[in-house]
Each structure stands twice: as C-alpha cells, then as structure tokens.
Structure 1
C-alpha cells in the first residue's frame, strides 16, 4: 500500500488534464470520453448491479490464480467482500462504458470476469458487441454466469488465461481489458499473446499498473513496445493504442 501511495503522489506531479495534451486524437479522447459529464441511463444499471453485489452475503471459495487481494486473503469470501475489495469500482465501470461507447467497440475480450461489473458495463456500451470474458476461478465464473445469464452478448469462459488464449480462434479485438493477474511475467505474456489480435484502432487496457513494483515494470515494458504508439497512464489504468499514423507519445492524464 505504501508503494501505491508514493507512486500516486508522483503521478499527481507529472500528470495533466486536456490542456497539456497536444495530440488531436488524445485531446478528443480526453475531452469527449474521459471528461464526458453526460448522465447516461446505463449508469443507474451499473450502480444497481454493484449495489446488489455489495449486499450479497453468499460465501464462495475463491481460487486466486494471480497476485490475489491486498486486503482479503481468506479463500472463503462473501460476494459483498469481493465486490468491495476486488470488483471494479463504479467510477471505473462508468469510464469503461464510455470508452467502449466512444470507440464503438464491437469485439471485446476481458481477462478476469470477477463478479461481472466491468463485463456488464461493456455490454451496456454496445448491446450488439460480442464480449468474451475469461475467469480462472470456477466459483466466481459460475456465480457471474448466473448473474449475467440473460445478457445475450456476453460469453463467460472458466479457464486459466494462458491455456484459453492458446485456444482462441483467429480474431481481432477492438478492446482488450487485462484485469485478472497482476504479476509482471503473466501480464507481459498475455500482452505478447494478444498482440496479433490488435488492429490499428484497438485499445488495450491494463488494470492496476501500480499494484506493485513488478506490475509497474510490466507497464513500462508494454508502453515501450515498438507496436505501441500511444500510451496513457491514468494511474489506475494504463491504456495503449496501436495507431500507425501517430508518432509515439506517452501521456499522464488525471481523471
């Protein structure tokens, strides 16, 4: 936790808002998406789902296949506890919704379904999108499948990420959300495996890039990759684009 606090203070010193952005593409993304103040009706649906999870006292056995939780290490946890400590926050779910909507994402991959908060937000952004979400923990995957069973454009797969990525059919994704294993080697491996699925306008989002020194090293490696042209550090997320028409540039944006 001390590491994250230190890094956040450093981020505040180096970050900016739209006034420090000179790239037309990133300026438009920041002003029309990041700072979009529209009160979308989907926000209430996101809030209601998160609220219901936060009140759910059902207990399940959690298998941590990644870095695990900073707070709750016990294998048996309540849904409410998972929603509080591991689930996507309402604020970030809304941002994910805006990103998928703004970029008109049709083919989406999520690594780490968890309780389906982010998954639902992605579905609301484009009900016609094809969303594949992979969850390693069997009990969490089964719970989320039941919660989202009536959402027709979501497919939840229970499997180890590495194995499932090897079995993915040839595809390109408009958006990939990496939110399941906060470890350097695993994150870099998933990134390399999914690079062939990226097209010129794809967006890769990496959650919790300051989770640990290890994870920050992974983020620094990713943003320096020759295929990455635009990278944006929002502290909680790291975003990368592959726009060949754009000169390589890195941004630190406060949200």
Structure 2
C-alpha cells in the first residue's frame, strides 16, 4: 500500500495537463479525447456493464477506452487481458470495430489492449506484439504503476526503439509507434 501511495504522489509531481504538451498529436489526443466530457450514447450501456462486472478499472477510465477507439477510428482491436470479455464489450459499444482475442489471428492491429502481467511471464512476448503493429497502432497496458515490477516493464517499453510516443496516465500506459515523430514521453493527469 505504501508503494502505491508513493508512486501516485510521484506521478502527480511529474504529471501535467494539455498545457505542458508540445506535440500536436498528443495535444489533440489529450484535449479532444482524454478530456472530452461530452455525453456519448454509449455511456448508459457502459455504466450498466461496469456495474455488472465491478472490474478493477474505474468507470472514468472505461469511458476513456470507449472514446479512444472512436477518436482514433480504430477498426481492428486485439485484447490480451484477463478481463477480455468485459473490455471487449466496452470497446465495441458504438464503435465499428472487429475485436480479436488471440495473437494467432493474422495481420496487424490498430489497437492492442494488454494485461501487463503477460509481459511479466513472457519477455519475448514483446517482440511478437511489436510485429503485430503498424505506424498508427496503439499498444495500451493496464496497471503500469501497480508495482515496482510493473513500473520496470513500463520503463523498458518506453526505452524500446520502436516506441516513439508514450503516455503515462497512472493507470494506463499508451505506446504509439509513429515513425514520423521524435521519441517523447508524457505523464498526463486525467
């Protein structure tokens, strides 16, 4: 418990909002998606699903995931998480996406949602994942600040040569592969 308190205080100290972001791509993502408070038609369904499942992910973050798919117009989604059914339901509401639950599915994905615990078990798993992304893909990890081990995995991802833009929102770690962009790391308060 002490670790979580210390890591959250450190996060607050390092984090910024849209005013500390100089990348046009990240600024637009933060202002038009992360901070978008407009009511979406999907929210009543998301609230009902959230109540039925009582997941570790907050309702605020679940709504963000749903907005994210619509904002980035992602069509091909891969979910590799223990709560895959719940996440899949949330991501598919009012989004015209196809959701996959196995790396055995062919091709590359626009969006990969990953339980960070899978990277703890299989370090070579990262190379496989990175072969399944394209320039505009997003790899999203949960619970990046839950433990020292999770933070270490997150730091390794940030330093990977293919990871160009990373965003730490405390609960989620966003990894973008945009070759046209300089390598940058952001710590953003939601």
1:221 and 2:190 equivalent? no
Give me the whole-angstrom Cα distance separating, in 2, the residues matched to 1:26 and 1:15: 14
Contact 2:49 2:90 in 1 (8 A): no
Give me the whole-angstrom Cα distance separating, in 2, the residues matched to 1:190 and 1:177: 14
Give me the whole-angstrom Cα distance separating, in 2, the residues matched to 1:33 and 1:187: 32
1:89 to 58, 76, 95: 58
Q: Max radius of gyration: which structure?
A: 1
Matched residue, 1:49: 49
Contact 1:110 1:177 in 2 (8 A): yes
Contact 1:87 1:114 in 2 (8 A): no
Q: How many residues align?
A: 190
Report the CA distance between 1:182 and its aligned residue. Answer: 2.3
Matched residue, 1:178: 114
TM-score by length of 2: 0.93
RMSD over aligned CA atoms reads 1.7
Aligned-partner SS, 1:201: strand
Matched residue, 2:99: 131
Give me the whole-angstrom Cα distance separating, in 1, the residues matched to 2:122 and 2:59: 24
State the Cα deviation string for residues 193-239 of structure 1 (Å, max 9, x = none): 11011100000001000121111100000011001100000010110
Larger CA deviation: 237-246 vs 188-197: 188-197
2:137 to 190, 202, 205: 202
Matched residue, 2:34: 34
1:4 and 2:4 equivalent? yes
Report the CA distance between 1:87 and its aligned residue. Answer: 4.0
The unaligned stretches of length 5 or more in structure 1 are 54-82, 134-163
Contact 1:204 1:240 in 2 (8 A): yes
Contact 1:229 1:248 in 2 (8 A): yes
Comparing both chains, which one has the higher relative contact order based on Cα–Cα distances under 8 Å and sequence gaps of 6 or more? 2
Aligned-partner SS, 1:108: strand
Matched residue, 1:192: 127
Alignment of 1:149-188 (within 5 A): 165=103, 168-179=104-115, 182=117, 185-186=120-121, 188=123
Contact 1:232 1:252 in 2 (8 A): yes
Report the CA distance between 1:115 and its aligned residue. Answer: 6.8
Aligned-partner SS, 1:116: helix
Residues 188 and 237 (structure 1), Cα distance of their counterparts in 2 relative to 1, 3 Å cut: farther
